[in-house]
Amino acid sequence: MKPVYQANSRLDLSFTRVVDVPRALVWRAWTEPALLKPWFCPLPWTTIDCEIDLRPGGVFRTVMQSPEGAQFPNQGCYLEVVPNEKLVWTNALLPGFRPSLPAATCGSEDANFMFTAMLELADDAAGTRYTATVIHADEAGSKKHAEMGFEAGWGAALDQLVAMLKRGV
């Protein structure tokens, strides 16, 4: 059976890296709040709160804080949870699969910024093959996410994740 996800290079952003840490620990770092908060935002930004209900429709909520102390809450829900292998979530649906409030995005520069994110983990001779993909409704959303520094930001966060795991969890 073909996968439900159909890649679209105009609408999607993706990068793959091999990291020399165990797959099961990368999974834990993405799915346990105490292990997610230390690495999830590239410093000097930090993640000051995190809530995870690891099942389809369950909450994935984080609060990011800028170096100046401004707080930025984000909320969405998980769509697919395959332990140690695949994690899919979106900000287009809130917990319980309730649609996100369109009033918060219509007419603003965030209007095109609904996305679904997919994390895929696989074994690699050198450790773990790590693929992160974000998919959007239109090119404007994809372009905005790219300009916000998707790959650099997620890459810097991944460096922090790996460093944390090497220090020992």
Footprint of a second copy (CB under 8 A) = 3-6, 8, 11, 53, 55-58, 77, 79-80, 88, 90, 92-103, 105-107, 111-112, 114-116, 135-138, 141
| Cβ-based nearer residue to a second copy, 23 or 145 | 145
The residues, any chain, with a CB within 8 Å of residue 143's CB and separated by 6 or more, are none
What backbone phi and psi angles, to 5 degrees, belong to 6? -115, 115
**For the purposes of burial, counting CB atoms within 10 Å of the CB of 36, is it exposed (0-12), middle (13-18) or buried (19 or more)?**
buried
Instruction: Tell me the C-alpha to C-alpha distance, in Å, between residue 29 and each of 13, 138, 169.
Output: 22, 30, 9
Q: How far is the CB of 102 from a second copy (least distance, A)?
A: 5
Query: By C-beta, is 14 or 160 nearer to a second copy?
Result: 14
Minimum distance from CB of 109 to a second copy (Å)?
12
Minimum CB separation of residue 104 from a second copy in Å reads: 9
Q: How is 102-117 classified by DSSP, letter by letter?
A: GGGTTTSTTTT--EEE
